[in-house]
Amino acid sequence: MMKKSLISIQDFSKEEILHVLEVAKEFEKNRSRNILEGKVIACIFFEPSTRTRLSFETAVNRLGAKVIGFSDASNTSVSKGETLKDTIKMVSNYVDMIIMRHPLEGSSRYASEVSSVPVVNAGDGANQHPSQTLLDMYSIMQTQGKLDGLTINMVGDLKYGRTTHSLLQAMSHFDTEFIFTAPDELKMPVEYKDFLKEKGIRYTETDSLEEHLNDCDILYMTRVQQERFTDPMEYEKVKNVYRLDASMLKNVRPGMKILHPLPRVNEIDQDVDDTPYAYYFKQAENGLYVRMAIISCLLGYR
């Protein structure tokens, strides 16, 4: 269908997003399809990852393609000073698609400009994480049965949390109301709030987790992103700002679901895992089906 790169969730139209979600549903019903036999896909990760890398690699394998790549750039010629441009030009000569995570904002866009094959952004600094967004939307659709008419409460590190930025942009295609729960130091950046204002989408801000806990359909918890802080003292001030536990969920909406891109540190107590509201582990599983859909759509097989 698409035959292009996925760098920002804004690269996809509403129709393309809905198409990927539909294809993901088919992959959830049938996980193993050899539709990409003969293809080779590179997963190159310049930053740590568990879910994104392993679910992309599993997706490649389940689609019948082969995967090459690295999870630690210190074992590559980057450690000898090779530039990102040269690395991407080389790798794109070998493979049919590059899936890349990199700490620098804008690195994925740059890679797509020098690559001869489609590039998927698996996270670029605090900027974007579009495959996470698509699996978040899939999880919202599966739990709520719709994408319109929902209230999403984003909690935690809204400044550096790239998943919240991508999700906000994607959900702007739908009738969504946002609550932003964050301390002053980690508020949603003004450019994203301006984006919502331009689109006529309502949002409320608070620094109290309790204030709007009972007013949302999706509680989107996030980890404080230690790796993005330049001053360790600033991180120490906010690292334990919110902690959700089961006793706080007594009056939430019956169908409310808690999402978290994971990993969590201590923002969700383990006693929440056994409540009917916890969805974050199933959300991570959904990543496999959605990433199978992304790869096959971008390569023109769906």
Q: Does 51 bind ligand CP (CB under 6 A)?
A: yes
User: Cβ closer to ligand CP: 262 or 278?
Assistant: 262
Q: Does 261 bind ligand CP (CB under 6 A)?
A: yes
User: Cβ closer to ligand CP: 193 or 239?
Assistant: 239
User: Cβ closer to ligand CP: 166 or 196?
Assistant: 166
User: Cβ closer to ligand CP: 50 or 275?
Assistant: 50
Exactly one of 10, 50, 77, 116 binds ligand CP (CB under 6 A); that residue is 50
Three-state secondary-structure class, residue 295: helix
Q: If binding means CB under 6 A, how many residues of this protein chain bind ligand CP?
A: 9
Classify 192 in phi/psi space as left (phi over 0), alpha (psi -120 to 50) or beta.
alpha
Interface region with ligand CP, contact rule CB under 6 A, candidates 50-58, 68-76, 150-158, 220-228: 50-58
Q: Within 262-281, which residues bind ligand CP (CB under 6 A)?
A: 262-263
Over its C-alpha atoms, the chain yields an Rg (Å, rounded) of 19
User: Cβ closer to ligand CP: 7 or 196?
Assistant: 7
Interface region with ligand CP, contact rule CB under 6 A, candidates 45-53, 73-81, 149-157, 195-203: 45-53
252 half-sphere exposure, CB direction, 13 A CA radius? 27
Q: Does 52 bind ligand CP (CB under 6 A)?
A: yes
Which residues contact residue 289 at a Cβ distance below 8 angstroms, ignoring those fewer than 6 apart? Answer: 24, 25, 27, 28, 31, 138
Q: Does 132 bind ligand CP (CB under 6 A)?
A: yes
| Residue 21 parent element (H or E) | helix 14-29
Distances 142 to 105, 279, 286, 297 between C-alpha atoms, Å: 31, 11, 10, 20
Residues that bind ligand CP (CB under 6 A): 49-52, 123, 132, 261-263
